[in-house]
Amino acid sequence: MTGRAGHLVLADGTLFTGKLFGADATATGEVVFTTGMTGYQEVLTDPSYCGQIVTMTAPQIGNTGINAEDPESVDSRPQVAGFVVRENSPVVSNWRSTESLDAYLKRNGIVAISEVDTRRLTRYLRDNGSQNGAIGSEPVDVLVERARQAPNMEGLDLVARVSPTSAYAFKESRGSWDPEFAPGQTVPPRSEKLRVTAIDYGAKRNILRCLVDVGCDVQVVPANTSAQDILATNPDGVFLSNGPGDPAAVDYAKKTIQELLGKKPIFGICLGHQLLALSLGAQTYKLKFGHRGLNQPVKDLTTGRVEITTQNHGFCVDVDSLKGIARTTHIHLNDNTSEGLEAPDLKAFSVQYHPEAAAGPHDALYLFERFRTLMQSARK
């Protein structure tokens, strides 16, 4: 694959050479890796990756191009700071494809680099931890300095970058994405519609689709919406979305959730899980290299079942800090970290992983039904 000569440089000076594609610029951000053979378009457009240079561990990326159906961000734009691959496929072949990966990244101003030894890079990040880096064609010493000057992820509020500035209604269902139905067929309507206010910290479209599919009338509001304004609309429940950055830095979200606890049923996913934990009085911390990918094993402590999940997070809830505050419901089987909690008296629960992302592929969809049941019981 031809391209402009360039470098990926980590803040500690570690150098990786390659060929630049996408936008002709320089990018900085936290360098992370995600495992999985598919889903690069979903990765690129997931707002939880804001501020990060994402490395794909699958060796060839771009072979199916870019389509109009798969973006996860509501505005369909890529959210990553930069992109790293072993091989940018020179051939694009898929009936849904509308443009190549290179053209898409170039159009959206995203810097990418190929022909990088991504196995070496992944092992390095695994052993030494994620750190800031820079991609570009500038001299190596300049790139190193750019990486070192980039803001650290700890203490960084990235929610403000990805949250919408105004409220909107979301009505799209999974439709043809749902394997239980024929292509193009809509999900059967529920007899009782439940009103859900989703606080958008960087929400993925497929999460919102799953809420619609279990019979929710979804109104999405910006992350800085006050509890008073949310309660004024009298929703049946409140959903806390995924999102990027350090949860401890999003003080305004913690305050809002604390004012909502016990007043409305609450369900959180990913960053929403971390923010719920902080609002209850627990603590969070940064993982060495995070959990990112679609093959993460999680155990449901209530049923004993193991779910294969999709995850994307660099911060984690301290399990010990939950004791006496909430019950741990799920754990990660690779490292026993927090993957779920519940506070029954407050009608609140959350999970760290992404139940909508179909890794299992249907292992965790019961969580949306659980939220519906919780809202129905609160109505009585």
Q: Which of 273, 313, 330, 354 is catalytic?
A: 354
Residue type, 326: A
Residue type, 198: A
Distance between start and end Cα atoms, the chain: 62
HEC assignment per residue over the chain: CCCEEEEEEECCCCEEEEEEEECCCCEEEEEEEEECCCCHHHHHHCHHHECEEEEECCCEECCCCECCCCCCCCCCCCCECEEECCEECCCCCCCCCCECHHHHHHHCCCEEEECCCHHHHHHHHHHHCCEEEEEECCCHHHHHHHHHHCCCCCCCCCHHHHCCCCCEEECCCCHHHCCCCCCCCCCCCCCCCEEEEEEECCCCHHHHHHHHHCCEEEEEEECCCCHHHHHHCCCCEEEECCCCCCHHHCHHHHHHHHHHCCCCCEEEECHHHHHHHHHHCCCEEEEEEEEEEEEEEEEECCCCCEEEEEEEEEEEECHHHHCCCCEEEEEECCCCCEEEEEEHHHCEEEECCEHHHCCCCCCCCHHHHHHHHHHHHHHC
354 is catalytic: yes
356 is catalytic: yes
Q: Which of 115, 270, 316, 339 is catalytic?
A: 270
Residues 6+ apart with CB under 8 A from 246: 153, 154, 155, 156, 157, 284, 286, 315
Tokens in use for 300? Answer: 């449901």
Q: Which of 87, 307, 342, 356 is catalytic?
A: 356
Q: CA-CA distance, 93 to 156, in Å (whole number)?
A: 39
Q: CA-CA distance, 255 to 162, in Å (whole number)?
A: 19
Q: What are the catalytic residues?
A: 270, 354, 356
